[in-house]
Structure 1
Amino acid sequence: MNDKYLTVTALTKYIKRKLDIDQHLQQIWLRGEISNFKHHSRGHMYMTIKDEQTRIQAVMFAGNNRYLKFTPESGMKVLIRGNVSVYEAAGQYQLYINAMEPDGIGALYLAYEQLKVKLEQQGYFSSAHKKRIPAYPKRIGVITSPTGAAVRDIITTIQRRYPLVEVVVIPVLVQGPEAASSIKRGIETANRMNFDTLIVGRGGGSIEELWSFNEEIVARAIYESRIPVISAVGHETDTTISDFVADLRAPTPTGAAELAVPSQAELRNNLQLLNRRLTREVNQLLDQETRRLNNALNSYAFRYPKELIRQKEQELDQQMEALERTLRLQVNDGAMVYQTVMRRLSVQHPKERIEEAEKRITELTIKNNRYMNQTVDYHRRELGNLLDKLSLVNPLEILKRGFALPYTADGQLLKSVTHIKEKEQLAVKLTDGTIHAQVLSVKETSNDGEKHGTILRGSDGKVRKNSRET
């Protein structure tokens, strides 16, 4: 009787599942005002997001809020990206915040977040696609404004750190409505030239000034570049779509130059270290080989060479005698093996074995033929018996004994008088032909055994009567 009643837990879980599978609630873009803000000691942020008419409870966990570039507080208007679900313990729905920015950036921030999600889902940020930056480049292309401070910082830093490399500036627009297309063309132009690395970027500025590096066409050009790309946009706190797509992100243009080339001071230090290590290894090897040479010079062979030769000649004579003894033993053993094999071969000569095998084949052939003949005779007799039995049930054989088979006009075998009516056509099958007739009357057989008959009229008009005793 009580099965129709749910528990509160079951109802809450059901509602939560309904919200979790709703795609419209899994990616929410929300504008609102923060109230009742609380930053928990464990790092999580709890707050209420409201507007003029309603409010919703919200939480931003520490794993997401550590990337915030500002400190939220009550009364602040914000732009939020998150999802809606149910907090089961309290049985209430709430907003789970994934990203948050102060309101004021407005449509630009919303477009930035939407493009970021889109490109991330398409794999543009995947580490598997990122290319390795060459350790010792020979030619670097710098795609930026030719008049900004960024290009001077990049060139100066590269010349100071690694003057061996050639730096080529590819001038582009980095601000304004045509900037994104200009940067895209610059990357495509660089890919037709012989560069080891590309540096793409500009100096710092507002989000509007940096917006060309958040355009999809720029991101796609970086993604499709066959040359490794270092992104160097703005200051360390500025993050653009280009930074996520590039093979390496630098915090500043100067940092990009430092990441693109090695330091000649560090190379000199490493070279000196390697030189000292090589010298130490060579000296150790030289000392080792000198000791080996001295040991060889002081050895018995160098001091008494004639005595050593006479000793080796004596050892050679002994070895020759041992070799001759071994050869004689091997020849004797081989002769014995040969004689044994010949004796066994004479006993089991192939001709005798062949004759025995032929005799065996003849015997088996005779047995096989006899067995096959017996089998054929047996099955022939079985076939004759089956044919005799089959002829007993053959309808044509029954007709030869004076019986007839009546068929209706549609070819059905007539088994009962209830299946025929007066004036219907009949085909009566006899052993030597078929009679076509018409039914004049039908009478069922009575239980007292009286005579009955069926009057048939043939195709020639003559009347025939067939009667039987029942």
Structure 2
Amino acid sequence: MKSNQYLSVQSLSKYLKYKFDKDPYLQRVFLKGELSNVKQHSNGHIYFSVKDDSAVINAVMFRSFADKIDFKPEEGQNVLLSGNVSLYTGRSQYQILVKEMEIDGIGQLFLKLEENKKLLREKGYFSSSHKKSIPFYPKHIAIISSKTSAAIKDMITTLSRRYPLVKVTLLNTYVQGELSKDSVISNLKRADSLDADTVLLARGGGSIEDLWTFNELDVALTVFNMKTPIITGVGHETDITLVDYVSDLRAPTPTAAAEQAVPNSRDLLIKIRELKEQAEYILNNGLSKKRKNLESLSSYYKFKNPNLLYSEETDRLNEYTMMLENKMKESLVLYRHNLSQRMTGLNYNSPLPEIKNKQLELKRLVDSLNRSTKQQLKLGADRLNKNIQVLESVSPGQILKRGYSYTTYQGSIVSNAKELQKGNQLEITFDSGSVKAEVIEVTKDGEK
């Protein structure tokens, strides 16, 4: 064949890519499968594979589309995706260019369950400190389940067989479907008001969709807030729902929940027989010991002659009396000696001599103070008399007595003739009495 009939690898790859890109059935494909080999590139692109039980296809989701999804793709997630199939010419491998991706229905339920678990775990609702103890001998048990389920028949049979003394109240409940959430919450609250010892919340196995009511956050919170101890038995042993984490005790199945709620009457009967035999043994053994002790005491010589007992006790009483009297005498002597020493010490350290000395010193100081006070009073009186004499010597009254007088004009003292005029009415005051006068003539510095 001629060489020009051969294609290069690149040419074939481009041709195949052209065929992929032009095929209308590959422009918009819808797939569901499980994510595998998920790699988040630093540029924002996501590279992964989508697989099912029989096949695997490579996929890529560019950043412009990856930024629009509301979850983080992770290994093992079941997803629904859409995009177009294309060929990567560099390796001649076909892949799907994903434009939309969302969690598959069941995967969304698992994601929601994980979110609810994380919320309650962070609030501490899973802590054992919140767990109430289950009564060992319940008198009344309330069962929340469907009356038509096979599980309820097994539970009632188990309770009747293991502990027929217990009273059982069945609260018929929708455990699946649209009405189940409100039905379960309503009957949980009702069971909490029945004064029951234990509540059993149970239903048989099923898919995650069938059991979803028991993963509802409102249902789990109602279980957590129950005042009555509650045992959950939902689904099969591998099914663990949200209510199992917040209940006081989780049983793997409804029948196991009934078994854990009551003791086994057969075990109780065996235990009662064992306790009866143990009590009989202890009683017989105790009686035997008491009987031997009684026989030993009955042969005691003092019991045959009771006076010996009285005599011995009388002697012991006299001995104790003498010991007590001697002890009291010794104590009194010791107390008197201690008292004498303390009195001597008190007399030696008595404050009376010091008090007398202080009293004498006080009397001396008082006498000195009195003398000093009298002396100061006398000196003060003398100074006062002298000051009075000086004041009296310059007193206007004394001056008037020596023949002087003073003149006033309109109430003011006249000290200079210049202040007066002819005809002014004056008042002249003497040592005894005063006179009215009129200015007839005024002389100023020798002039009229």
Matches of residues 195-274 of structure 1 in structure 2 within 5 Å?
Answer: 195-274=196-275
Matches of residues 71-470 of structure 1 in structure 2 within 5 Å?
Answer: 75=55, 105-333=106-334, 345=346, 348-356=349-357
Larger Rg: 2
Q: Which amino acid aligns with 2:292?
A: R
Q: Which amino acid aligns with 1:284?
A: N
Kindly indicate whether the alpha-carbon contact (under 8 Å) linking 2:235 and 2:252 is maintained by their aligned counterparts in 1. yes
Shift in alpha-carbon separation, 1:333–1:256, aligned structure 2, 3 A: closer
Kindly indicate whether the alpha-carbon contact (under 8 Å) linking 2:145 and 2:175 is maintained by their aligned counterparts in 1. yes
User: C-alpha distance in 1, partners of 2:209/2:341?
Assistant: 104
Q: What secondary structure, in the 3-state scheme, does the structure 1 residue paired with 2:231 have? A: strand
Q: CA deviation at 1:260?
A: 0.6
Q: Which amino acid aligns with 1:272?
A: R
User: C-alpha distance in 1, partners of 2:112/2:327?
Assistant: 94
Shift in alpha-carbon separation, 1:359–1:134, aligned structure 2, 3 A: farther
Aligned CA RMSD, in angstroms, stands at 3.7
Q: Which amino acid aligns with 2:137?
A: Y
Q: CA deviation at 1:262?
A: 0.6
Which range moved further: 289-298 or 207-216? 289-298
Q: Which amino acid aligns with 2:133?
A: R
Unaligned runs of 5+ in 1: 1-30, 36-47, 58-71, 78-94, 364-470
Unaligned runs of 5+ in 2: 1-31, 58-72, 80-103, 365-448
Q: CA deviation at 1:257?
A: 0.3
Which range moved further: 119-128 or 345-354? 345-354
Structure 1 counterpart of 2:19 = none
Q: What secondary structure, in the 3-state scheme, does the structure 2 residue paired with 1:199 have? A: strand
User: C-alpha distance in 1, partners of 2:253/2:356?
Assistant: 100
Q: CA deviation at 1:156?
A: 1.0
> How many corresponding residue pairs?
291
Q: What secondary structure, in the 3-state scheme, does the structure 1 residue paired with 2:190 have? A: helix
Q: What secondary structure, in the 3-state scheme, does the structure 1 residue paired with 2:106 have? A: coil
User: C-alpha distance in 2, partners of 1:105/1:344?
Assistant: 100
Q: Which amino acid aligns with 1:288?
A: K
Kindly indicate whether the alpha-carbon contact (under 8 Å) linking 2:34 and 2:77 is maintained by their aligned counterparts in 1. no
Structure 2 counterpart of 1:442 = none
Q: CA deviation at 1:250?
A: 1.0
Shift in alpha-carbon separation, 1:301–1:205, aligned structure 2, 3 A: same
Shift in alpha-carbon separation, 1:96–1:347, aligned structure 2, 3 A: same
Q: CA deviation at 1:360?
A: 9.0
Q: Which amino acid aligns with 1:253?
A: P
User: C-alpha distance in 2, partners of 1:345/1:189?
Assistant: 84
**Cα displacement string for residues 348-392 of structure 1 (whole angstroms, at most 9, x for unaligned residues):** 5442243356689999xxxxxxxxxxxxxxxxxxxxxxxxxxxxx
**Cα displacement string for residues 295-331 of structure 1 (whole angstroms, at most 9, x for unaligned residues):** 3222232133223433443444444445445555555
Kindly indicate whether the alpha-carbon contact (under 8 Å) linking 1:34 and 1:74 is maintained by their aligned counterparts in 2. no
TM-score with structure 1 setting the length: 0.54
**Cα displacement string for residues 24-46 of structure 1 (whole angstroms, at most 9, x for unaligned residues):** xxxxxxx96466xxxxxxxxxxx
Matches of residues 30-41 of structure 1 in structure 2 within 5 Å?
Answer: 33=34
Kindly indicate whether the alpha-carbon contact (under 8 Å) linking 2:203 and 2:235 is maintained by their aligned counterparts in 1. yes
User: C-alpha distance in 1, partners of 2:319/2:113?
Assistant: 93
Q: What secondary structure, in the 3-state scheme, does the structure 2 residue paired with 1:285 have? A: helix
Shift in alpha-carbon separation, 1:298–1:181, aligned structure 2, 3 A: same
User: C-alpha distance in 1, partners of 2:125/2:333?
Assistant: 82
User: C-alpha distance in 2, partners of 1:273/1:334?
Assistant: 66
Which range moved further: 111-120 or 210-219? 111-120
Q: What secondary structure, in the 3-state scheme, does the structure 2 residue paired with 1:201 have? A: strand
**Cα displacement string for residues 153-187 of structure 1 (whole angstroms, at most 9, x for unaligned residues):** 11111011111111001111111111111101110
Kindly indicate whether the alpha-carbon contact (under 8 Å) linking 2:34 and 2:78 is maintained by their aligned counterparts in 1. no
Kindly indicate whether the alpha-carbon contact (under 8 Å) linking 1:32 and 1:49 is maintained by their aligned counterparts in 2. no
TM-score with structure 2 setting the length: 0.56
User: C-alpha distance in 1, partners of 2:347/2:285?
Assistant: 74
User: C-alpha distance in 2, partners of 1:187/1:181?
Assistant: 10
Kindly indicate whether the alpha-carbon contact (under 8 Å) linking 2:113 and 2:215 is maintained by their aligned counterparts in 1. yes
**Cα displacement string for residues 226-248 of structure 1 (whole angstroms, at most 9, x for unaligned residues):** 11111111111222212222211
**Cα displacement string for residues 73-124 of structure 1 (whole angstroms, at most 9, x for unaligned residues):** 88589xxxxxxxxxxxxxxxxx986x86797723323322332223322333
Quick one: higher RCO (CA 8 Å, sep 6+), 1 or 2?
2
User: C-alpha distance in 1, partners of 2:240/2:277?
Assistant: 44
User: C-alpha distance in 2, partners of 1:165/1:323?
Assistant: 68
Shift in alpha-carbon separation, 1:300–1:147, aligned structure 2, 3 A: same
Q: Give aligned-pair identity as a percent.
A: 37
User: C-alpha distance in 1, partners of 2:329/2:46?
Assistant: 113
Shift in alpha-carbon separation, 1:307–1:106, aligned structure 2, 3 A: closer
Shift in alpha-carbon separation, 1:359–1:110, aligned structure 2, 3 A: farther
Q: What secondary structure, in the 3-state scheme, does the structure 2 residue paired with 1:106 have? A: helix
Shift in alpha-carbon separation, 1:230–1:359, aligned structure 2, 3 A: farther
Shift in alpha-carbon separation, 1:116–1:311, aligned structure 2, 3 A: closer
